[in-house]
Structure 1
Amino acid sequence: MEEAQKTRREIIPNINLPMERAVIAGLLTGPDAIFDVADRLQPEMFSDPRNAFVYRAVLSLADRGVGVDMLTVENEMVRLDYGLYQQLNGLSFLSEMLLDVRTDAHIRIHADELARCYTLRQLVNGLKKKETEAQLSSADLPELLAGVEELAGSLRDGMAHISSMEEAGIVAARVLEQSYREQTEREEGKITRIRSGLYDLDKLTGGFYKGELTVIAGRPSMGKSAVALWMALNMARQGKAVAFFSVEMGKEQNVTRLLSMISGIDADCLRFRGTSAADRFRLEQARKELEGLPIMLEYCGSDTIEDIRAKAQSLNKQGKLDALFIDYLNLINIVVSKNQLQETTDLALGNIARKAKLMAEEMEIPVVLLAQLNREVDRRQGMHLPVLSDLRNSGAIEQVADVVVFVYRAEKYNIFYDPKTKEDLRGVGLLLVAKNRNGATGGAKFRYNPAMTCLTDYDPRVI
C-alpha cells in the first residue's frame, strides 16, 4: 500500500522526487556544492518536506560558515527541529540515493529542473485559483486579467535568478553612486581600499579591493611568501582583520617571520644563532605589537579549498575578516573522485582559483592567492623576467584573477647590475603587475634585507 502511494506521488506532474533526493545527496557528497545552488533553490521548492528540511539545514550551515557533511547536517537538523529529526530518523531515508549519487557534477542542472518544476506548480495553483474566481457570476474581467498578468510577471521574475539581469543604466547609477561615496570618504581621510604597505605598488594599482582575486606568483625562494606576509602585517597595522592561511609553513614559522619583520632581529637568531638581552627586549616589544594586531594564522597542510572556504566564511560571519591570504595554490589538497580521474592538474588548479575568486565576491573581501611559476622563466635568456604563461599549471588562473603580480629579484639569477642603467640591483626587488583587470600594469620596485624579513619602499639614492 505504501509503495503504491509512493509510486502515485512520484508520477504527479511537476514533482520529481528522485531528482530532489539527487540534489540533497549531491550536497552531502560535495561540501562546496551548496554555493553552486544557493542562488537557485529555496527550501519551499522541494515538494517533499523531508528534503526541504535537509536543504534548510545545509543552507543554515553554509550561512554560519560551517563545513557540510553528513554529521554536521544531522547535528544542524537536531538544532533546527529535534522532533522532525527524530521522526525522519536523521538522513536514513536518503541511504539508497547516497549509494547511487557519487558526485555533484550535475547539481546545477538538477537544481534548475527543480526550480522549473516549482514554478510550474505555482503556475498551476495560481491559475486554478483564477479559474475558480472566473466561474463566479460577479467576476471582474479586467481585475482577473490583471491578476493573471501579475502572476505571470512574478513567476517570470523568479526564473531570472540565474543571470540576475539588470539594465545598464541602473548598474551605471549604482557604480557612480559607489564611486562618489568612496571619493567623499577619501576626502574625509577614510581609505576604502586596503594598502599593501609598498608605496610603488599602491601607486600603480591603488591597493587591494573588495571582491577581487590577486595572484602573487614567483619561483621558489623568490620571496613571494615574505612579500605576502609583509603585506598582511601592514594591512593589520591599518586596522584590517587579516587571515593568513598557509599550506606550506606552520603557524610558528610564520610568527617567527612576523617577529623578525617587526623587531628587525634576524630570524636565524631566533632559530639557532641566539639572541642578546637587547634583542630579546625588541622581540618582546614585537610580541606585544602582534598581540594588538588583528592577524589570524592557520596551517592548512591537508585542507581542500572547500575546507579553507569554510574557515574563511566562519571568520567573515564573525566580522573578523577584511582580507584573506592563501599560501599557496599549488600545494592545496586536491580530492579527485572516481568520476574525475581524467581531470588534469591544470583544470583542478584552475577550479581552485575560480573558487578563490568566488570567495572574494561572496565575502566582499580581497583574496590574495600565492602561486608558483614553472621552470621556463629560469631557462629564459637575459633578465629572466616572468610572463603570464610561466604560471605553473596555469589552467584558468590568469583568466580568473583580477590582478597577477610576479615577485622578481634579479640577484637570484646572479644579476647584480641593470645592463642598461648600470643600477645596483642588490637588495632591489620588483613586483611586476602583469595583469590588472581594472587598472594599469607595470613594475613596482622595493628594497629588502638579505633575509627578506624587512621590505621598504624603493629609493634610488639608497645603495
Structure 2
Amino acid sequence: MDDEQAKIDLYTLLQRCRQVDPGIKPAHLAQLTQCVGSGVNVLDHARRLKDVEIRRRLCLFGQELSARAVSDPDGVLDWATEEITAIASDTVRAGDIMPLSDVLRATLDRLEQRQKARLSGACVGVPTGLQRLDAITGGWRGGQLIVLAGRPAMGKSAVMLYFARAAAASGVPVCIFSLEMPNDQLAGRMLVGGSDVSAGAFRVGNIDTDGWYKLEQTRSALSALPVYLNDRAGISMTTIRSQCRAMQRRGRCGMVVIDYLQLLDTSTGNRTSTREREVAEASRAAKLLAKE
C-alpha cells in the first residue's frame, strides 16, 4: 500500500487484507499495532544491549578464568590479559578519543564563527540581555555551569528570570526548575518585570486600565517565548537530568536554570555526609549535565 502511495489506516488496511483473507478481524490488526515498538529511543536501546553484552562477556570471562587458573596456571596470566584488553577495547565509544588535528580544526572553525559574530555586532554565545556583560563574556556557552551567588533578598531570582527571558528571546529554549517559587509566582514576576507595573500593585491586585493593557501586551510577548517551568519541590539532580534529556530530544532544552542549588534533594543515605559535600555533589552533577 505504501508503494502504491495509498492512504494507510486501520480501515483501509482491513479492506486490503480481506482481499486475501476474508475472515480477518479488525481486533487482530489493532492488536498487531500494539506489538510494534517505537523507534524514537532506538539509540538508548542499542546502548542498553551493548551494556548487557559487555557484562555477559565479563561473566563468561570470570568463569573461564576460574577454570584456567586450576588447569593452566602458567598461561592463565597472558590469556587473561589479552581477554580483558579485548573486552575493554570494545567499551571505548567512537568519539571518546579524538586526534588533536580534528580538535584543532574544530577549534579554529568555532573561532571563525565567533569572529564573524563579533564583526556583525551579534553576541557570540547565548545573549545575557546585558550588552556590557555580553562584551566581557561573549554570552553564555554550551557546557558552562554558571553560579549566580549573593546574599538573601539581593535579586538573584529576578536577574535569573531576566537572563532566561533574554536567552529565550534569542531562540534558545530555556527550562527553569524553581524549587523556591511556584510557577504562577514566577510568571507573575516575569509579567511585572516586562510591563513596568508596580510589583506592590500586582501583589494586592490594584491594577488600573493602563496597567492591564501593559500586562496583556507583556503576556502576549512572553507566551511566544520557548520557556518551560517546573516548580516541583525537593527535586533531585537525577530527576532534572532525565527531564532535561527528554526535553532536549524534543528540541526544547538549550539552557537549564535551577533556582536554587541549596534546595535540591541531595540526600545520599550516608549519615557521615556533610552539607558541604552534598552541595558540592549537586554542583558536580550540574556541571556534568551542562557538559552533556
The normalised TM-score by structure 2 is 0.69
- CA shift, 1:46, in A, is 3.0
- Residue in 2 aligned with 1:207? 139
**Alpha-carbon spacing, 1:182–1:199, altered in 2? closer, same or farther (3 Å):** closer
- CA shift, 1:247, in A, is 0.7
For residue 105 of structure 2, give the secondary structure of its aligned residue in structure 1: helix
For residue 139 of structure 2, give the secondary structure of its aligned residue in structure 1: coil
Q: Which one has the bigger strand percentage?
A: 1
**Alpha-carbon spacing, 1:209–1:288, altered in 2? closer, same or farther (3 Å):** same
- Residue in 2 aligned with 1:439? none
Question: One-letter code of the match for 2:196?
Answer: G
Name structure 2 gaps, 5 residues minimum: 1-46, 66-82
Instruction: Output the CA distance in 2 between the equivalents of 1:214 and 1:342.
Output: 29
- Residue in 1 aligned with 2:53? 44
- Residue in 1 aligned with 2:286? 356
Mapping of residues 180-219 of structure 1, within 5 Å: 180-184=112-116, 192-219=124-151
CA contact (8 A) 1:201 1:207 kept: yes
Question: One-letter code of the match for 1:158?
Answer: D
Instruction: Output the CA distance in 1 between the equivalents of 2:237 and 2:84.
Output: 41
Instruction: Output the CA distance in 1 between the equivalents of 2:196 and 2:256.
Output: 25
CA contact (8 A) 1:300 1:308 kept: no
For residue 228 of structure 2, give the secondary structure of its aligned residue in structure 1: strand
What's the C-alpha RMSD, in Å, of the aligned pairs? 3.3
- Residue in 2 aligned with 1:261? 193
For residue 326 of structure 1, give the secondary structure of its aligned residue in structure 2: strand
- CA shift, 1:354, in A, is 0.7
CA contact (8 A) 2:123 2:134 kept: no
Question: One-letter code of the match for 1:45?
Answer: I
- Residue in 2 aligned with 1:324? 256
**1:296 to 2:231 alignment:** no
Mapping of residues 3-152 of structure 1, within 5 Å: 42-47=51-56, 114=58, 117=61
For residue 147 of structure 2, give the secondary structure of its aligned residue in structure 1: strand
- CA shift, 1:312, in A, is 1.6
- % identical aligned pairs: 29
**Alpha-carbon spacing, 1:180–1:232, altered in 2? closer, same or farther (3 Å):** same
- Residue in 1 aligned with 2:274? 344
**Alpha-carbon spacing, 1:182–1:115, altered in 2? closer, same or farther (3 Å):** farther
**Alpha-carbon spacing, 1:166–1:220, altered in 2? closer, same or farther (3 Å):** same
- CA shift, 1:315, in A, is 1.1
Name structure 1 gaps, 5 residues minimum: 1-37, 49-113, 122-150, 363-463
**Alpha-carbon spacing, 1:285–1:220, altered in 2? closer, same or farther (3 Å):** same
**Alpha-carbon spacing, 1:42–1:238, altered in 2? closer, same or farther (3 Å):** same
Q: Which one has the bigger helix percentage?
A: 2
CA contact (8 A) 2:174 2:256 kept: yes
- Residue in 2 aligned with 1:310? 242
Question: One-letter code of the match for 1:42?
Answer: D
Instruction: Output the CA distance in 1 between the equivalents of 2:267 and 2:114.
Output: 42
- CA shift, 1:174, in A, is 2.7
- Residue in 2 aligned with 1:278? 210
For residue 296 of structure 1, give the secondary structure of its aligned residue in structure 2: strand
Instruction: Output the CA distance in 2 between the equivalents of 1:116 and 1:238.
Output: 54
CA contact (8 A) 2:123 2:139 kept: no
Instruction: Output the CA distance in 2 between the equivalents of 1:324 and 1:282.
Output: 28
CA contact (8 A) 1:196 1:231 kept: yes
Instruction: Output the CA distance in 2 between the equivalents of 1:175 and 1:215.
Output: 26
Which of these residues, 252, 264, 287, is aligned with residue 219 of structure 2?
287
Instruction: Output the CA distance in 2 between the equivalents of 1:288 and 1:170.
Output: 45
For residue 193 of structure 1, give the secondary structure of its aligned residue in structure 2: coil
**1:243 to 2:252 alignment:** no
**1:335 to 2:267 alignment:** yes
Instruction: Output the CA distance in 1 between the equivalents of 2:102 and 2:169.
Output: 37
Question: One-letter code of the match for 1:278?
Answer: D
CA contact (8 A) 2:124 2:139 kept: no
- Residue in 2 aligned with 1:225? 157
**Alpha-carbon spacing, 1:175–1:322, altered in 2? closer, same or farther (3 Å):** same
Deviations 1:105-125 (A, max 9, x none): xxxxxxxxx49959x99xxxx
